[in-house]
Amino acid sequence: MDGFEPPHLLGDLSAKIRGVGQFALRAGTDDIIHVLSARERAVRNVLEQRLRPGDVFVDAGANIGFFSVIASNLVGESGQVIAFEMMPETAARLRHHFAINDLPSAKIFERALFDKDGETITATSSAQKFGQASVSPEFQAEPGRTIRHDVPTVRLDTALADIGDIALMKMDLEGAELGALLGAKDVLARCAAVIFENNSKDERVVGLLRSAGFSIRHLGGREHLAYRSEE
C-alpha cells in the first residue's frame, strides 16, 4: 500500500509461525511484516494450490525466505526450492532460516537477476526496509536512509540451466522484473506458472509473458499470476 509504513522490531525476535516454520527476525527492520500469515494470502494460496511433492519452486527475490520455507514444506524432500537473494545481510538470514527449518536441499544464489551474466550492478534499499531492495534505476530509496551494495548478476537461464520443469516461480524484484525475464527465455519455456509483481504497471512485463505463452490474471494488490493458456 502506497504510504504504508511497516512496523519495525525494537529487538531481535525468534518467531515460530504456525504451519510454516521458525524465523529469526532482526531488530530495527521490517522483517516482521514478511512473516505475517495474513500477508499476501493470495500468493500463499497459489503455492498451496500448485505445488506438490517432487515439484521445483523458484523464489526470485526471496528476502528472508517466508515463501521459500512454505514451498519447501509443500514440495518435500523429493522436490527442490531454488532461492535468489542479492542483498548480503538478507541472504545470510535466508541461509539461517533454511538451516533452522532443516531444509538442506534448498539452494541459494546470492546474485541479482538480470539479462546479462557476470556484471556488477548497484542494488539499493532503504535502511530498515530490507524487503524492498532493487536494481531498477527507477527505484527510489528514502533520502538519507539508503543502503547500497555492488552485486554480481546472473541470468535465470544460466543459473537454472540444469533444472528441468518448474512448477512455479515467484518473482518479487521491486521493479526489476523485466530485466530478469529478459534473461529467462529458456526458463519460461519450461515453467508452468509465474507469480509476479508489476509495481510500475510496465506493459513490457505483461507483453513478454504473454508472448511466452502465458495468460495473466490479477491476484490482488500488485500481484499477478501468469499461467499456461490451456489450463
Residue 23: Cβ-neighbour burial (10 angstroms; 0-12, 13-18, 19+): buried
Distance of alpha carbon 50 from alpha carbon 190, whole angstroms: 15
- Distance in angstroms (rounded) separating the CA atoms of residues 75 and 47: 10
Query: Taking the CA atoms of the chain, what radius of gyration do you get in angstroms?
Result: 16
Identify the CA nearest to 189 among candidates 163, 223, 154, 219. Answer: 163
* Residue pair 55/49 in contact by the 8 Å Cβ criterion: no
* 197-215 average pLDDT score: 88
Q: Where are the beta strands (DSSP E) in 46-119?
A: 56-60, 80-84, 107-109, 112-113
Give the pairing type, strands 120-126 and 168-171. unpaired
The C-alpha cell at 146 is 539508503
**Cα–Cα distance, 158 to 12 (Å, whole number):** 37
> Which residues, in sequence order, are CB contacts of 101 under 8 Å at separation 6+?
21, 22, 69, 72
Q: Bridge-partner residues for 22, per DSSP?
A: 16
Q: Taking residues 86-94, what's their average pLDDT?
A: 93
Report pTM: 0.90
Which residue's C-alpha cell is 556484471? Answer: 119
What pLDDT score does 180 carry?
96
For the cut 80, the answer to whether the pLDDT of residue 8 exceeds it is: no
Q: Which CATH architecture has domain 39-227?
A: 3-Layer(aba) Sandwich (3.40)
- The whole-number average pLDDT for the span 76-86 is 96
- Give the integer Cα–Cα distance in Å for 130 and 132: 5
Does 201 score more than 80 pLDDT?
no
pLDDT of 125 > 90? The answer is no
Please answer whether residues 186 and 145 qualify as being in contact, where contact means their C-beta atoms are separated by less than 8 angstroms.
no
CA dihedral 223, 167, 164, 81 (to 10 degrees): 80
Cα 221–Cα 224–Cα 145 angle in degrees, nearest 5: 55
Report the pLDDT value the prediction gives residue 137, as an integer from 0 to 100: 76
Please give the pLDDT value at position 1.
43
Could you say which DSSP state residue 38 is in? T
H or E segment to which residue 58 belongs: strand 56-60
Task: Report domain extents, the chain.
Answer: 39-227
The DSSP bridge partners found for residue 223 are: 197, 220
